[in-house]
Amino acid sequence: MNNGAARSYVYNALGREVEWHGDGRASEDLTDLAGHYLGSVDPSTGAWTGERIPGSSIYLAWYVNGGTTFFHYNALGSSMMNTHQDGNTVSNDVLFYPWGQMWASPVNDYFQFFGNIEGWDWEIGEGVTPNRYYPNYQGRWLSPDPAGLKAVKLDDPQTWNMYAYVRNNPTTNTDPTGLACVAGLTLFGSHFGGRCASDTPPPPPPPPPSPLQTDQKARTALMAPTRPSSRTETVYQIGGIVNAETRGMKDSKSENVPLSKAREEIAEVRINGDQLYGDKVGKYAGMQPPNYSGPDFQASLDAAANAAYNKLIGVSDTGDATNYQMTKSTDDTGPFYGLPIYTTAGPYLSPTPYTVINTYGPIID
């Protein structure tokens, strides 16, 4: 009923009003694909009875009866004033209470917009979005959040009530679509202020990564003088040992892991062996004397630094392996003293017949 006259309405498959008939008149409403109202047409004549000119997610102007009315908004997207195209005539001057009730009534209800809600159904007195109706006299949505329980977060009580409008903070937030709370005005496709803040403070940002995590050069420089096994050998010395053991070896197309990784495994084995065997490391896990020269030394030192860093943070690729041995192929079991092999790396290009690097141990008398 509208002023005593009955009206009938037609809705599309999305539940949006597209046509009404009553009191000797009729109107067809047109929307874009997103459901935003564009204007109304008299079905008997085909003439436009009103047309909004969309300039963004809010409407900049309304064209009706050959004249254009421009809208002026506040920071929440509420239309506070309308002016005529002549630039002088103020056709509407509107003020709203926080939840959208009008404090000062406009001349035309369809010239009012509250909180960036694009439409107003003056027959039922509710704001219209593409997804839900908002009755400002209730201060809540007429229907629950279409997202259902997916919109609920247990650590955020404001999401528990799926009828709540803009987290119960209408003086700061808006929801122009009926789907998502927005902090402030949505204009020209941008959300000024972003998504609405949660009542639960966000976790602090993670600390910036240390040079040990991201910078190989810094990691090597910092780790080189340290003793990862807390015994005799420094990372620098272990790098020299790895260089001596792998000098002249190169990556190959048939390798299962890069040579740089195999060098790290040798370094880790040396750290484990030095820690377990102590002064007897030469007897149980002997390796060549360190070599601190040649084109492969820096790569070997970097591998030792990476192995020491991994040991520091509790990461291991070889488990408890304390020994390593090179073989001629991956099928060569070699004299591993009956101990299980932890890792097998290779085959690599090598100046010797030995192309595969295996880790195993520990050896116990």
Q: How do residues 98-147 score in pLDDT, each as one tens digit?
A: 888 877 655 555 556 777 777 777 667 788 787 888 888 888 989 999 88
Do 148 and 281 reside in the same domain of the chain? no
Do 159 and 278 reside in the same domain of the chain? no
**Does 206 reside within a domain?**
no
**Does 273 reside within a domain?**
yes
Q: How do residues 286-324 score in pLDDT, each as one tens digit?
A: 888 999 999 999 999 999 999 999 988 888 888 878 888
**Quick one: which of 341, 287, 304, 348 has its CA closest to 319?**
341
Q: Indicate the pLDDT class of residue 14, thresholds 50, 70 and 90.
A: confident
Do 33 and 175 reside in the same domain of the chain? yes
Task: Give the count of domains, the chain.
Answer: 2
On whether the CB atoms of residues 62 and 69 are closer than 8 A, the answer is: yes
Do 166 and 215 reside in the same domain of the chain? no
State both tokens at 182: 């927005």
Do 43 and 185 reside in the same domain of the chain? yes
Query: Any bridge partners for residue 349, and if so which?
Result: 250
Segments forming the whole domain that contains residue 94? 7-191
**Does 203 reside within a domain?**
no
Q: Indicate the pLDDT class of residue 203, thresholds 50, 70 and 90.
A: confident
**Does 50 reside within a domain?**
yes
Do 236 and 294 reside in the same domain of the chain? yes
Q: How do residues 216-229 score in pLDDT, each as one tens digit?
A: 998 999 899 998 87
**Quick one: which of 73, 71, 96, 103 has its CA closest to 85?**
71
Do 182 and 216 reside in the same domain of the chain? no
**Does 341 reside within a domain?**
yes
Is residue 192's pLDDT more than 50? Answer: no
Is residue 191's pLDDT more than 50? Answer: no
Do 221 and 181 reside in the same domain of the chain? no
**Does 202 reside within a domain?**
no
CA distance 232 to 238: 10
Q: What is the DSSP string of 273-289?
A: HHHHHGGGHHHHS--PP
Do 136 and 216 reside in the same domain of the chain? no
Question: What percentage of the chain has pLDDT greater than the value 70?
Answer: 80
Do 44 and 115 reside in the same domain of the chain? yes
Q: Indicate the pLDDT class of residue 188, thresholds 50, 70 and 90.
A: very low
Q: What is the DSSP string of 159-205?
A: GT-TTBSGGG-TTTEE-SSSS--EES-EETTEETT-BPPPSSPPPPP
Do 172 and 49 reside in the same domain of the chain? yes
**Does 106 reside within a domain?**
yes
Do 177 and 228 reside in the same domain of the chain? no
Is residue 157's pLDDT more than 80? Answer: yes
Given this model, what pLDDT does residue 274 score?
Answer: 86
Last residue of a domain, one of 158, 191, 224: 191
**Does 205 reside within a domain?**
no
Given this model, what pLDDT does residue 176 score?
Answer: 81
Last residue of a domain, one of 161, 191, 221: 191
Given this model, what pLDDT does residue 237 score?
Answer: 94
Mean pLDDT, rounded, of the chain: 80
